[in-house]
Amino acid sequence: MALSEFDIIARYFTRQGAYRDDVVLGVGDDAALLKVPRDRQLVLAVDTLVAGRHFPEDAAAFDIGWKALAVNLSDFAAMGATPAWATLSLTMPAVDKHWLQAFADGFYTLAEQYQVALVGGDTTRGPLSVSVQLQGYIKPGKVLRRDAAKPGQALFVSGTLGDAACALHQLQSGAVDALVFGRLNRPEPRVALGQLLGGVAAAAIDVSDGLLADLGHILEASRCGATLYPERLPASAALQNLPAGEVLEYQCNGGDDYELCFSVAPERRAQLDAMLHEQALSVAEIGVIDAQPGLRCKFADGRIITPAIHGFDHFLSDDDD
Amino acid sequence: MALSEFDIIARYFTRQGAYRDDVVLGVGDDAALLKVPRDRQLVLAVDTLVAGRHFPEDAAAFDIGWKALAVNLSDFAAMGATPAWATLSLTMPAVDKHWLQAFADGFYTLAEQYQVALVGGDTTRGPLSVSVQLQGYIKPGKVLRRDAAKPGQALFVSGTLGDAACALHQLQSGAVDALVFGRLNRPEPRVALGQLLGGVAAAAIDVSDGLLADLGHILEASRCGATLYPERLPASAALQNLPAGEVLEYQCNGGDDYELCFSVAPERRAQLDAMLHEQALSVAEIGVIDAQPGLRCKFADGRIITPAIHGFDHFLSDDDD
How far is the C-alpha of B258 from the C-alpha of B205, rounded, in Å?
A: 9
Beta pairing partners, A283: A158
Spans of all domains in chain B: 5-141, 144-305
Nearest neighbour of B126 by CB, restricted to A5, A50, A313: A50
How far is the C-alpha of A157 from the C-alpha of B126, rounded, in Å?
A: 32
CB-count exposure of residue A211 (10 Å: 0-12, 13-18, 19+): buried
**pLDDT digit string, tens, across residues B265-293:** 999 999 999 999 998 888 999 999 999 99
pLDDT band at residue A174, thresholds of 50, 70 and 90?
A: confident
How far is the C-alpha of B229 from the C-alpha of A142, rounded, in Å?
A: 58
pLDDT at site A236: 93
Spatial CB neighbours of A219, under 8 Å, sequence gap ≥ 6: A149, A225, A226, A289, A293, A294, A295
pTM of the model: 0.90
Q: How crowded is residue A298: how many other Cβ atoms within 10 Å of its Cβ?
A: 16
pLDDT band at residue A319, thresholds of 50, 70 and 90?
A: very low
Calculate how close chain A gets to B180, using CA atoms only, in Å.
Answer: 25
Please report, as a single letter, which amino acid is at residue A303.
R
Average pLDDT over residues A79-102: 92
Name the DSSP letter for residue B54. T
CA distance to A73, A305, B220, B229, per residue, from A222 (Å): 23, 22, 53, 64
Contacts of A3 in chain B (CB under 8 A): 315
Q: Which of A6, A11, A25, A30 would you mutate first to test chain B, the one with the most B CBs within 10 A?
A: A30
pLDDT at site B210: 93
How far is the C-alpha of A81 from the C-alpha of A143, rounded, in Å?
A: 7
Are A315 and B3 an interchain contact pair (Cβ–Cβ within 8 Å)? yes
How far is the C-alpha of A196 from the C-alpha of B222, rounded, in Å?
A: 45
Nearest neighbour of B34 by CB, restricted to A42, A53, A87: A42
Spatial CB neighbours of A278, under 8 Å, sequence gap ≥ 6: none
**pLDDT digit string, tens, across residues A268-300:** 999 999 999 998 888 999 999 999 999 999 999
First to last CA, chain B: 43
**A158 contacts A183 by C-beta, under 8 angstroms:** no
pLDDT band at residue A126, thresholds of 50, 70 and 90?
A: confident
**B309 contacts B295 by C-beta, under 8 angstroms:** yes
User: What is the complex's ipTM, to 2 decimals?
Assistant: 0.87
Q: How crowded is residue B267: how many other Cβ atoms within 10 Å of its Cβ?
A: 7
Which has more confidence, A313 or A212?
A212
Nearest neighbour of A44 by CB, restricted to B120, B124, B318: B120
User: Which parts of B101-201 are beta strand (E)?
Assistant: 117-125, 129-138, 154-158
**pLDDT digit string, tens, across residues B197-255:** 999 999 999 999 999 999 999 999 999 999 999 999 999 998 988 999 999 999 999 88
How far is the C-alpha of A155 from the C-alpha of B277, rounded, in Å?
A: 64
Are A46 and B133 an interchain contact pair (Cβ–Cβ within 8 Å)? yes
pLDDT at site A315: 53
* 3-state secondary structure (DSSP) of residue A28: coil
pLDDT at site A320: 35
How far is the C-alpha of B74 from the C-alpha of B76, rounded, in Å?
A: 5
Ordered DSSP codes for A193-255: HHHHHTTT-SBEEE-SS-HHHHHHHHHHHHT-EEEE-GGGS---GGGTTS-HHHHHHHHHH--
**A49 contacts A256 by C-beta, under 8 angstroms:** no
* 3-state secondary structure (DSSP) of residue B45: strand
Nearest 5°: the CA angle B260, B266, B268 is: 65
pLDDT at site B321: 32
pLDDT over threshold 90, residue A263: yes
Q: Could you list the pLDDT tens digit for every one of the 321 residues in chain B?
A: 345 666 776 677 777 777 899 999 988 788 999 999 999 999 999 998 988 888 887 889 999 999 999 999 999 999 999 999 999 999 888 888 899 999 999 999 999 999 999 998 888 888 899 999 999 999 998 999 999 999 999 999 999 999 999 888 888 887 778 888 888 889 999 999 999 999 999 999 999 999 999 999 999 999 999 999 999 999 999 898 899 999 999 999 988 999 999 999 999 999 999 999 998 888 999 999 999 999 999 999 999 998 876 655 545 444 333
* 3-state secondary structure (DSSP) of residue B101: helix
User: Which parts of chain A are beta strand (E)?
Assistant: 23-25, 32-34, 41-50, 82-92, 117-125, 129-138, 154-158, 204-206, 225-228, 260-264, 283-290, 294-298, 304-305
How far is the C-alpha of A120 from the C-alpha of A30, rounded, in Å?
A: 9
pLDDT at site A5: 67
Spatial CB neighbours of B272, under 8 Å, sequence gap ≥ 6: B156, B200, B201, B264
Of the candidate CATH numbers 2.40.160.60, 3.10.580.10, 3.20.10.10, 3.30.1330.10, the domain formed by A5-141 belongs to: 3.30.1330.10
Torsion, CA A172, CA A178, CA A179, CA A183, rounded to 10? 60
pLDDT at site A168: 84
Please report, as a single letter, which amino acid is at residue B212.
L
**A57 contacts A90 by C-beta, under 8 angstroms:** no
Spatial CB neighbours of B308, under 8 Å, sequence gap ≥ 6: none
**A209 contacts A313 by C-beta, under 8 angstroms:** yes
pLDDT at site A188: 94
| B144-305 under CATH 3.40.50.150, yes or no | no
Please report, as a single letter, which amino acid is at residue A301.
D
Calculate how close chain A gets to B265, using CA atoms only, in Å.
Answer: 20
CA distance to A149, A197, A290, per residue, from A265 (Å): 9, 12, 12
CA distance to A12, A281, B23, B245, per residue, from A28 (Å): 13, 41, 28, 32
Contacts 24+ apart (CB under 8 A), B195-200: B195/B77, B195/B80, B195/B81, B195/B82, B196/B275, B196/B279, B196/B281, B197/B80, B197/B144, B197/B260, B197/B262, B198/B80, B198/B138, B198/B139, B198/B142, B198/B143, B198/B144, B199/B141, B199/B142, B200/B264, B200/B268, B200/B271, B200/B272, B200/B275
**pLDDT digit string, tens, across residues A190-230:** 999 999 999 999 999 999 999 999 999 999 999 999 999 99
Domains B5-141 and B144-305 are alike in CATH topology: no
Contacts of A221 in chain B (CB under 8 A): 28-29
With CA atoms as reference, the chain A residue closest to B43 would be A33
Among residues A147, A149, A135, the alpha carbon closest in space to that of A41 is found at A135
Nearest neighbour of A48 by CB, restricted to B28, B45, B122: B122
Length of chain B in residues, anyone? 321
Spatial CB neighbours of A173, under 8 Å, sequence gap ≥ 6: none
CA distance to B165, B170, B292, per residue, from B173 (Å): 13, 5, 41
With CA atoms as reference, the chain A residue closest to B24 would be A41
Nearest neighbour of B76 by CB, restricted to A31, A52, A85: A31
Calculate how close chain B gets to A165, using CA atoms only, in Å.
Answer: 20
How far is the C-alpha of B17 from the C-alpha of B120, rounded, in Å?
A: 12
Cα atoms found within 13 Å of the Cα of residue A311, Cβ hemisphere only: 20
Torsion, CA A75, CA A77, CA A78, CA A80, rounded to 10? 130
Contacts of B52 in chain A (CB under 8 A): 126
**pLDDT digit string, tens, across residues A30-73:** 899 999 999 999 999 999 898 888 888 788 999 999 999 999 99
